[in-house]
Amino acid sequence: MRLDVDGVSVAIGSAAILDGADLCVEHGQFVALVGPNGCGKSTLLRTIYRALRPAAGTVFLDERDVWRMSARESARRTAVVAQEHHADFDFTVREVVLLGRIPHKRPFDRDCPADVRLTAWTLDRVGMTGFGDRAFATLSGGEKQRVLVARALAQESPLFLLDEPTNHLDIRYQIETMELIKGLKVTTLAALHDLNLAAQYCDRVHVMRAGRIVADGPPGDVLTSELIEAVFGVRAERMTNPATGRLHLAFSPAPAAVVVQEVVPRSRRPRRETM
Amino acid sequence: MSAPPRTHPRFQPKPAEPGRPELVRSRRLSGSAFAVLVAGLVLGVALSTVLAVSLGPVHVPFDVTAGIIAHHIAPDVTGPVGTPVQNQIVWDLRLPRAVLALLVGAGLALVGTVLQAVVRNPLADPYLLGVSGGAAFGAVAVLVLGSAAVGGLSLSAAAFAGGLVATTVVYLLAQRRGRVTPTRLILAGVAVAYLFQAGYSFLLITAPNPQGLQGVLFWLLGSLATVRWDGLAVPGAVLAVGSVLLLVEARPLNALLTGDDSAVSLGIDVQRLRIRLVMVTSLLTGVMVASSGAIAFVGLIVPHFVRLLVGAEHRRVLPAALLTGAVFLQLVDTLARTVRPPVELPLSIVTAAVGVPFFLWLLRRQDRTGEASAA
């Protein structure tokens, strides 16, 4: 599954939330979307899974416009893991995972044995074997997140979109969740707050600012001190994490004199450009 | 100088615990237990109906009542039972009312369940969309001003029309460019309900014939008293069609409970679904209110009670709520007729007297177990 976002713009009132955002996720890649609060990361994800219709631009999944598909067709191609569910319902873990089968069901279809097997398999896959009868509301934050990943797996969609999947999780569950998702080897686009998680786990990173993608590439190339200072307004010291060998960033306040500079967006790439 | 860092002596780093699946299992019924529950509720519908029909000013014994009903339903299988008078009391006078109790109870419980999911608010009830206020306005207009003043409509037709007008206004206020959000729906419903309430209160206060007020009050609080067999066709047909239309949405309703964006990501066209559900539930509520007045609490309490037993999964909640609502209203109406004969209590008095203590118990129970409400 290949995702292409081509010049997508969204405005709420007169304020542009997305201003011609372009990005591309190749088959099998784990791509991070980073940027300061309010830069449009969640909005961009929502236009991809059809929660928000863009005012301009197109989202393509394997060269098909998602807004020309039905909601069902789109859900069979794209599964979403959002932040931990704020509302708790009296669903069991198994019932939550079975929600992922909805795009494959017609009215009056029953859960078939294949659905039950798939549910058990996805729970195994996320390390939640035997939790099927537990009440979802009683799980810890990390466990809930795992169940939502299992739900996305049960959806059998070739593209995963993650919206801040590690928010509100403590450090152990953050790493656990990222390890889990990385290990799934599914084409993934993840909006992340934590640049170090992005650097450690992602093949590529797209940096957003004010509704535009301002840089993209492998984390080691893109997350330079200059770019981070320009986009986030903090100083970043680059180093190597001795345990993982990956880029690690240490942050400190930007010197008071430095005014956050405007970053000029890259010129629009042609959509078919290979990377 | 700050103190040197130290680890609390009682802190022992320990390896990560594996999951403890045995600790907090859901209180949920298994599949076979759910089947038993449904069978029990079907039996409850039959037994409560026979009980309701056998009780009254003239007591007809339980077995005779059951025999008379069985003979009328299947005359080839069972022989005639009881005296002609008993037959007339059971079949012509009391059974239509009992059947209406089942239909209205089932309809209100079903609509309450669905609307609580549509607006993701546990306080939603069938009258959320202003139907009861509008219907009451229509009914009061007929009772106070006379049928001619509202274009010759009968009482229930005027009530239905009033409900329809109110729901349409609520819907138009709640939608913006075809999108209906839960908050706007609730706010519009509350506002319109107050408007129509003010309207019928004005009609009542300025009414030229105060002797009609008693009847109006009785109707506002709900009564099944006047129904005959031919009055059951419309509520029966609407409930049959409406419940099928709502039962097929069980899975989408599950998705809707998890939030609009989440439901979209599961392949649900949320806006269309919500509009469809608002239309079907308005029609159902309008018909129920037109045939029995505004019976409070059934559509609020029954869904919560049922979720306590079967969880939030709508493929279980919807059929269980339908049956539970039917049994509940049957028992409530029986109580309303028999508690202080010959006076019949309005149903909302009984549903409140039974329902509110239960509701408070439910709230306290949730506080104690620290669990969030299954909205």
- B231-282 pLDDT per residue, tens: 899 999 999 999 999 999 999 999 999 888 899 999 999 989 988 998 899 8
- Cβ pair B303, B113 in contact under 8 A: yes
**What residues in chain A have per-residue pLDDT under 70?**
84-89, 256-275
Mean pLDDT of B288-310: 88
CA distances B26 to A14, A93, A95, B35, B316, Å, are 48, 9, 11, 18, 15
Rounded CA-CA distance B349/B257 in Å is 32
Residue from A213, A225, A204, A223 nearest A265 by CA: A213
Which residues in chain B have their CB less than 8 angstroms from residue A138's CB? 24
- DSSP notation for A65-131: EGGGS-HHHHHHHEEEE-SPPSS--S-BHHHHHHHTTGGG--TTPPPPHHHHHHHHHHHHHTT-TT-
Q: Which helix (H) or strand (E) holds A59?
A: strand A56-61
Q: Name the 3-class secondary structure at A203.
A: coil
What is the total residue count of chain B? Answer: 375
The radius of gyration of chain B's CA atoms, rounded to the nearest angstrom, is 24
Nearest to B254 among A74, A99, A143 (CB): A99
- Tokens 């409530």 sit at which residue? B332
Q: Which two tokens stand for residue A56?
A: 């301009």
**What is the pLDDT of chain B when averaged over all its residues?**
84
Nearest to A137 among B254, B266, B371 (CB): B371
B28/A92 touch (CB, cutoff 8 Å), yes or no:
yes
Mean pLDDT of B4-9: 63
CA distances A244 to A28, A34, A180, A184, A251, Å, are 21, 21, 16, 19, 19
- Specify the pLDDT at position B122: 82
- Specify the pLDDT at position B16: 47
Within a domain: residue A273? no
Q: Which helix (H) or strand (E) holds B134?
A: helix B131-145
**Smallest CA–CA distance from A82 into chain B, residue:** B262
Residue B325: pLDDT band (50, 70, 90) is very high
Q: Which two tokens stand for residue B9?
A: 């002596």
Within a domain: residue A261? no
Residue B3: pLDDT band (50, 70, 90) is low
Q: Report phi then psi at A33, rounded to 5.
A: -120, 115
- Specify the pLDDT at position B374: 39
Rounded CA-CA distance B8/B15 in Å is 18
Which residues in chain A have their CB less than 8 angstroms from residue B254's CB? 91, 95, 99, 102
Task: Name the DSSP class of B328.
Answer: H
Rounded CA-CA distance B258/B348 in Å is 32
Rounded CA-CA distance B310/B163 in Å is 32
Which residues in chain A have their CB less than 8 angstroms from residue B28's CB? 92, 133, 135
Can you name the CATH fold of B31-366?
Answer: ABC transporter involved in vitamin B12 uptake, BtuC (1.10.3470)
- Tokens 């109790």 sit at which residue? B101
Rounded CA-CA distance B124/B111 in Å is 10
Which residues in chain A have their CB less than 8 angstroms from residue B249's CB? 107
Percent of chain B with pLDDT over 90: 34
- Specify the pLDDT at position B27: 55
Rounded CA-CA distance B359/B354 in Å is 9
Task: Name the DSSP class of A246.
Answer: S
Mind telling me how many Å the CA of B22 is from chain A's nearest CA?
8
**CATH number of the domain to which A229 belongs:** 3.40.50.300
Residue from A217, A214, A237 nearest A225 by CA: A237
- Specify the pLDDT at position A111: 84
> Domain total for chain A?
1
Mind telling me how many Å the CA of B263 is from chain A's nearest CA?
9
Which residues in chain A have their CB less than 8 angstroms from residue B265's CB? 49, 51, 75, 78-80, 82, 161
Best of B119, B265, B373 to mutate (most A CBs within 10 Å, chain A): B265
- Cβ pair A115, A150 in contact under 8 A: no
Query: A70: Cβ–Cβ under 8 A, 6 or more apart, which residues?
Result: B267, B269
Nearest to B264 among A50, A129, A155 (CB): A50
Strand partners, B138: none
- B95-153 pLDDT per residue, tens: 999 999 999 999 999 999 999 999 888 888 888 888 888 888 888 888 888 777 777 77
Amino acid identity, position A102:
I
- Tokens 């005639």 sit at which residue? B80
- Specify the pLDDT at position A15: 83
- Specify the pLDDT at position A257: 56
Indicate if the pLDDT at residue B25 is higher than 80.
no
Burial of B62: CB neighbours in 10 Å, binned 0-12, 13-18, 19+: middle
Q: Where are the alpha helices (H) located in chain A, listed in sequence order?
A: 41-48, 71-77, 93-99, 113-125, 141-154, 171-184, 195-201, 219-222, 225-232
Amino acid identity, position B37:
L
Best of A90, A173, A175 to mutate (most B CBs within 10 Å, chain B): A90
Rounded CA-CA distance B286/B164 in Å is 7
- Specify the pLDDT at position A154: 94
Q: Is B255 near chain A, with CB under 8 Å?
A: yes
- A39-60 pLDDT per residue, tens: 999 999 999 999 989 999 999 9
- CA torsion sign, A31 to A36 to A41 to A42? positive
Rounded CA-CA distance B95/B340 in Å is 21
Strand partners, A187: A159
Mind telling me how many Å the CA of B261 is from chain A's nearest CA?
6
- Cβ pair B120, A87 in contact under 8 A: yes
- DSSP notation for B28-46: ---HHHHHHHHHHHHHHHH
Amino acid identity, position B174:
A
Query: A267: Cβ–Cβ under 8 A, 6 or more apart, which residues?
Result: none
What is the total residue count of chain A? Answer: 275
Rounded CA-CA distance B333/B319 in Å is 21
CA distances B341 to A154, B22, B228, B344, B351, Å, are 59, 53, 21, 7, 18
In chain A, which residues touch B (CB < 8 A)?
A: 46, 49-51, 70-76, 78-80, 82, 85, 87-92, 95, 99-100, 102-103, 105, 107-108, 127-131, 133-135, 137-138, 143, 155, 161, 172
- Specify the pLDDT at position A238: 93
Indicate if the pLDDT at residue B48 is higher than 70.
yes
Q: What share of chain A is helix, strand, coil (3-state, %, to 5)?
A: 35, 30, 40
Nearest to A107 among B21, B248, B372 (CB): B248
Strand partners, B340: B343
ipTM rounded to 2 decimals: 0.86
Which residues in chain B have their CB less than 8 angstroms from residue A99's CB? 254-255, 258, 266
- B146-177 pLDDT per residue, tens: 777 777 777 778 888 888 899 889 888 888 87
- B59-90 pLDDT per residue, tens: 899 999 999 999 988 888 887 888 888 888 98
- Cβ pair B118, B278 in contact under 8 A: yes
A71/B19 touch (CB, cutoff 8 Å), yes or no:
no
Whether a cis peptide bond, with omega within 30° of 0, leads into B342 is yes
B313/A105 touch (CB, cutoff 8 Å), yes or no:
no
User: By residue range, what is the domain housing residue A107?
Assistant: 3-253
- Specify the pLDDT at position B157: 84
Which residues in chain B have their CB less than 8 angstroms from residue A55's CB? none
State the count of interchain CB pairs (< 8 A) between A and B: 113
